[in-house]
Structure formats: C-alpha cells, structure tokens
C-alpha cells in the first residue's frame, strides 16, 4: 500500500468526536493530503466527466438495439478532426516538456499552436454538423443522429471549458515576473486535461464508427 493510500485510510479511521482527536485536529494547518487545489479540482472534473460520458455510452449501447436505429455515414472530415486532436495533445505535451526545462519561449509558441489546433478541431466539428444538416440528417431524423450531435456537442463544450484555462495559462507567460512553479503546474494540468479529452474522443468516435 502506498504512502498516500495509508494517509487516506488513516483519515477515514479517525474519530473526530473523541476529545483526544479533536485536540489534534485543532492544531493542524488544514492540509491533509499532498495535492494542490488545482490538481484536486482537475481530478474531480475528470471523474465527473467520465461518469457523464459513461452514462451516455451505456444509453447509446442500449438504444442502438432498437429496430429504428439507422447508423450515420462517416464523413472523411471526422478523421481529419481526430488527427488534429491527436496533434493538439502531442503539442501540449511538448509545451509541458519545454516548461519543465524553463524554456518558456518555446512553451509559449507551443501553447499558441495548441489554441489554433483546438479551434480548428471545433470548426471542423461544426463543418461536420453542417454536412449532416445539408443532407437532411437532423437530430430528430434518427436516434443515431441525436446521439452523434449530443456526443460531439458535449465533447466540444468540455474542450471550450479547457480553452478558458488554456487562455489563463497562456496569459501568465506574458506577465512579468510570473510565478514559475504555478505556471509549470498550470501547463501540466492543462496538458493532462487535453490528453483526457483525446481519450474520451477515441472512445466516442470508435463507438460511433463501429456501429
């Protein structure tokens, strides 16, 4: 068992209602686990998002068994969007490596490229929507269509949320005397989130093209 797991087990086994434990609790500084608020917040977001996407995947799997299910076509643009998202994740990883080496000029350039690629991905997804609408494939046309719009919209909203924090992180690099440690952590956490979104997209895209 790891040290962190032992700490968690110790916390769960405490009895705060006892006078001896209450005296100990009153003396500590409020820090119980070696994890920053930002890292804990990211983990919480990822866990909640995973649960949400998992519920929709289960619903998708059940609904596709009904006789009125008609699979969507696979426009080539979806494959290009997937490649763009893979490249975005790789560039974010490079930005993280550059920041670890204190090469913030290259890290800044990499973050700019991440922003461009992310908006390119979102634009590509909107073009796919436009394609389906132009051929009469609306959300109300078929349950498969509705799930496609739902999946891509939900994933896109998560990416937009990530872009908000990407913007705040990139802005730090334009501030004089910025906090190096916090900036490195912000880049790392954003990179982790982009990797998470890539994995989610692989699952959703793989599910849609296989059915």
Task: Answer yes or no: is pLDDT of 77 > 80.
Answer: yes
Tell me: do 129 and 29 sit in the same domain: no
Q: What is the CATH classification number for the domain harbouring 104?
A: 1.20.120.80
Name the residue range of residue 10's domain.
1-34
CA distance 115 to 191: 12
Task: Answer yes or no: is pLDDT of 206 > 70.
Answer: yes
Give percent above pLDDT 90 in the chain.
57
Report how many domains make up the chain: 2
Tell me: do 18 and 107 sit in the same domain: no
Query: What value does the mean pLDDT take over residues 179-191?
Result: 92
Task: Answer yes or no: is pLDDT of 154 > 70.
Answer: yes
Tell me: do 61 and 146 sit in the same domain: yes
Q: What is the pLDDT of residue 160?
A: 95
Confidence at 99, pLDDT banded by 50, 70, 90: very high
Tell me: do 24 and 79 sit in the same domain: no
Tell me: do 116 and 133 sit in the same domain: yes
Tell me: do 95 and 154 sit in the same domain: yes
Tell me: do 113 and 148 sit in the same domain: yes
**Stronger pLDDT, 85 or 2, i.e. the higher one:** 85
Among 10-14, 42-46, 106-110, 131-135, which stretch is predicted with the lowest mean pLDDT?
10-14
Tell me: do 201 and 184 sit in the same domain: yes
DSSP string, the chain: --HHHHHHHHHHT--TTSHHHHHHHTTS-S--SS--HHHHHHHHHHHHHHHHHHHHHHHHHHHTTSTT--PPP--HHHHHHHHHHHHHHHHHHHHHHHHHTT-HHHHHHHHHHHHHHHHHHHHHHHHHHHHHHHTT--TTT-HHHHHHHHHHHHHHHHHHHHHHHHHHHHHHTTSTT--HHHHHHHHHHHHHHHHHHHHHHHHHHHHHHH-
7-31 pLDDT, tens per residue? 555 655 665 656 666 566 556 555 5
Task: Answer yes or no: is pLDDT of 94 > 70.
Answer: yes
Cβ atoms within 10 Å, residue 94: 17
The pTM for the full model equals 0.80
């Amino acid at each position: 068992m790891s040290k962190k797991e032992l700490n968690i087990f110790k916390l769960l086994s405490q009895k705060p209602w006892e006078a001896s434990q209450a005296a100990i609790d009153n003396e500590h500084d409020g820090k119980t686990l070696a994890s920053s608020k930002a890292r804990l917040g990211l983990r919480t977001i990822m866990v909640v998002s995973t649960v949400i996407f998992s519920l929709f995947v289960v619903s998708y799997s059940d609904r596709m068994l009904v006789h009125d299910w008609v699979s969507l076509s696979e426009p080539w643009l979806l494959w290009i969007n997937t490649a763009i998202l893979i490249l975005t994740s790789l560039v974010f990883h490079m930005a993280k490596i550059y920041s670890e080496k204190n090469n913030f000029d290259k890290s800044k350039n990499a973050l700019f490229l991440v922003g461009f690629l992310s908006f390119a991905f979102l634009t590509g997804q909107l073009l796919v929507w436009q394609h389906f609408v132009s051929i009469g494939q609306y959300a109300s046309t078929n349950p498969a269509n509705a799930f496609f719009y739902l999946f891509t919209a939900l994933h896109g909203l998560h990416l937009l949320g990530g872009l908000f924090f990407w913007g705040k992180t990139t802005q730090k690099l334009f501030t004089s005397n910025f906090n190096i440690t916090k900036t490195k952590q912000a880049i790392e956490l954003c990179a982790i989130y982009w990797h998470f979104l890539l994995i989610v997209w692989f699952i959703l895209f793989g599910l849609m093209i296989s059915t």
